[in-house]
Structure 1
Amino acid sequence: MTRAVVIGLSAVVVAIRDGEAVALTVRHGGAGDPAGLPFGPFDPDSDRTFELALRAYVTEQTRFDLGYVEQLYTFGDAGRDAPLADLGGGAGASRVISVGYLALAPAAVDTHFAGSEWRPWSRIFPWEDWRAGRPDALDAVDAALRAWAGADAQKLARARLLFALDGAPWNEERVLDRYELLYEAGLVAEAARDRSEAAPVRSDALTVALGEPMISDHRRILATALGRLRGKLKYRPVVFELMPDAFTLSALQRTVEAIAGVPLHKQNFRRALERAELVQGLGRLDADTGGRPAELFRFRREILGARPVGGLSLPLLRE
């Protein structure tokens, strides 16, 4: 018997709140159930385009209107499609192909809609935030990965490379690869769920270090979005889609750091920004900085149609 194919649409909506990168999530079940991304099925009879259908779902489920949107990836692995995401129409007996989208918002506006929440990435991927140095979560993750790898040199080498163990360099863009390794190792909660196994008993420290699980394949989709966005910072000026019309250079740097998860060298960041000619001073000061008033700038959006425009250099702050 041929299984029906259902096309699902999922949205990773990203903003900055209180200096943290946050994603818009929804909770369709009870208070104790995992959260998920805004999602819904594509109806070829009534939906004109994927993007229009997605925008309608996000607004319906969160009361939030999307701005900048781009298609992210298509997810279709059997067994990881929608074990807990009810797409309706008998989708539980169907093969679900999920089309993910990345959306960027200049403000994490309160939706005032039951079940929706702006959730910090650091709660979902605690090992990804290196702004204050090596995250504490990696201690527990390190030990768990070594126990999984055992005497297998290849497994241990992958863990070292991806999670910067034993002094290996950190590559902030490999978010999905790190999540996939934890899934393969059976460490994240979604692995046991998808294999219909009982959740293993974990220490409190490891449970916190492995982050909050999500329904269906939504944490995998979120990891893909974070890696894509971190890479795109360097070759497209997408960070300005997360900024208000007027901003300080310090606020811009904090936004880049929140997305990239690494600290940047202030002077070198500003030099690179000046060379790129992406911003222009507005000739007025922001008095709400909590200290010395700082100059306000705007993104020179008009240059997008005038010449090829790159992204931002990420000059790391070395200890």
Structure 2
Amino acid sequence: MSLSFSHAHSEGSGTTEVVAVLIAITHGRARVLTVDGGKLLPNGPLMPLHRSLQAGVRQWVEEQTKQPLGYIEQLYTFVDTNRRNKDGHALVYVSYMGLVQEAAIPEAMVEGDKDKKSDPESASGAVSTKSSARWRDWYDYFPWENRLQTEASSNQITEKLKQWAEAASSKSERLKRLQRIYLCWGGDWEQDSDFEQIVASGDGHSSSAKEMFTKWVAEHALLRYEMLYEAGLLPESPDYNASKLPKNWHQVIGEPMYYDHRRVIATAISRLRAKIEYRPLIFGLMPEEFTLLQLQQSVEALSGVPLHKQNFRRLLESQNLVEPTGNSSQTGRGRPAKLYRFRFDIGLQSLLMDSKLPKSNPR
């Protein structure tokens, strides 16, 4: 059976699902593990045999992808009012984020059943294990979050969002929408006739307000997604109307997913981007040995914005987070690059509380 992006859940007795966002850094690219040809995250119903939510997550990930799990943490709990069980109760699903090393997926799981249309759900409501599992770049789903490349797509998006603001039912609602756009999307708003009014409506500190309204904040990924959903600019939104959007809109807005699974990824992106500024979680995504360039590129892949090379290395040195291994890596014609590893001899509590990675270079 084929699914629309707000498809009703097949009726069953369960009311709770678990969903996993598994993140890896591979060749300097942020990746997420998907099933059903990239339309779903690994997921399945919580069943009586599961002793805990984590046990349910681990079972479904293992069954659907064979990906080994390391660090995982709970994200949010969502209510999907478009999916109900046989008693009419809305489905609740609990999301988890895991940081892993990308593992090869068994060929049978990648290929799936090519000659048949995949059935995304079994009778119990679980995603079929015949659905193909694959790693995908998370910017396939969130191209506007990648500020390492052109910002042209963001400009197209903010133009549409401004039209949404203009369509507000009242002047006050219009100004609120504009304020949210400025706060979430950053940019040079000086040409907007409403910008000075928005700044003036703040706390009176115009210079700090302008900086706040024009700065791109990487961890606002979920807020940006929610705004696009509310404005009807995402295929998952009930107000989406492709006929009123540019022909290239699917490239601007990225690939949609079934149910609210793209929202779950946005939640994980926001959580991880915020955490890497004060906890060295990045090392859970790095190989045992790495160059400083590989480490910087990995942080940039997660944050979506460039870092200043010298500032990055000075902060690493001052935090004493890494140490040389004595080995080197030859990746080009130049001098071999030194290989480093994470320092495990630093007290864990001190590390988690006091160490942080360099913040993104504001643009």
- Separation of aligned partners in 1, 2:302 and 2:355: 14
Match of 1:204 among 206, 230, 247: 247
Q: Does 1:36 align with 2:58?
A: no
Q: Does 1:166 align with 2:185?
A: no
Structure 1 residue 227: deviation in Å?
0.3
Alpha-carbon contact 1:5-1:97 (below 8 Å) kept? no
Alpha-carbon contact 1:5-1:95 (below 8 Å) kept? no
Q: How does 1:29-178 map to 2 (within 5 A)?
A: 35-43=39-47, 45-76=48-79, 78-79=81-82, 82=83, 90=85, 93-107=88-102, 109-112=104-107, 113-114=109-110, 115-132=132-149, 134-150=150-166, 152-167=174-189, 168-178=214-224
Residue 31 of structure 2 corresponds to which residue in structure 1? 22
Structure 1 residue 315: deviation in Å?
4.5
Alpha-carbon contact 2:73-2:96 (below 8 Å) kept? yes
Alpha-carbon contact 2:300-2:306 (below 8 Å) kept? yes
User: Secondary structure of 1:189's partner?
Assistant: coil
Structure 1 residue 70: deviation in Å?
1.1
Structure 1 residue 41: deviation in Å?
0.6
Note the aligned Cα RMSD (angstroms): 2.4
- Separation of aligned partners in 2, 1:258 and 1:120: 10
Structure 1 residue 94: deviation in Å?
3.3
- Separation of aligned partners in 1, 2:65 and 2:87: 24
Structure 1 residue 92: deviation in Å?
9.0
- Separation of aligned partners in 1, 2:28 and 2:254: 19
Residue 193 of structure 2 corresponds to which residue in structure 1? none
Structure-2 change in CA distance of 1:316 and 1:231 (3 Å): closer
Larger-gyration structure (1/2): 2
- Separation of aligned partners in 2, 1:108 and 1:65: 7
Match of 2:237 among 191, 208, 211: 191
User: Secondary structure of 1:72's partner?
Assistant: strand
Structure 1 residue 299: deviation in Å?
0.7
- Separation of aligned partners in 1, 2:135 and 2:344: 27
- Separation of aligned partners in 1, 2:349 and 2:255: 44
Map Cα deviations across residues 157-191 of structure 1 (whole Å, 9 max, x no partner). 21122111434110100111000000110110101
Residues 160-169 or 229-238, more deviating: 160-169
- Separation of aligned partners in 2, 1:121 and 1:10: 16
User: Secondary structure of 1:119's partner?
Assistant: strand
Structure-2 change in CA distance of 1:316 and 1:222 (3 Å): closer
Alpha-carbon contact 2:303-2:360 (below 8 Å) kept? no
Q: Gaps (5+ residues) in structure 1?
A: 84-89
| Partner AA of 2:234 in structure 1 | V
Structure-2 change in CA distance of 1:92 and 1:312 (3 Å): farther
Residue 12 of structure 1 corresponds to which residue in structure 2? 21
| Partner AA of 1:96 in structure 2 | L
Map Cα deviations across residues 104-124 of structure 1 (whole Å, 9 max, x no partner). 113353443231111111111
Alpha-carbon contact 2:216-2:362 (below 8 Å) kept? no
Q: Does 1:283 align with 2:287?
A: no
Residue 86 of structure 1 corresponds to which residue in structure 2? none
Structure-2 change in CA distance of 1:290 and 1:7 (3 Å): farther
Q: Gaps (5+ residues) in structure 2?
A: 1-11, 111-131, 168-173, 190-213
Residue 113 of structure 2 corresponds to which residue in structure 1? none
Residue 308 of structure 2 corresponds to which residue in structure 1? 265
Residues 150-159 or 183-192, more deviating: 150-159
Map Cα deviations across residues 235-266 of structure 1 (whole Å, 9 max, x no partner). 11100000011111110000000001110011
- Separation of aligned partners in 1, 2:27 and 2:277: 23
User: Secondary structure of 1:12's partner?
Assistant: strand
Please report the TM-score for the alignment, with normalisation by the length of structure 2.
0.76
Structure 1 residue 65: deviation in Å?
1.6
Map Cα deviations across residues 26-69 of structure 1 (whole Å, 9 max, x no partner). 11xxx6xx6110000111x2111111221110111112121111
Structure-2 change in CA distance of 1:276 and 1:181 (3 Å): same
Percent identical residues: 39
The alignment of Structure 1 onto Structure 2 pairs a total of residues equal to: 299
| Partner AA of 1:63 in structure 2 | K
Structure-2 change in CA distance of 1:308 and 1:15 (3 Å): closer
- Separation of aligned partners in 2, 1:224 and 1:71: 11
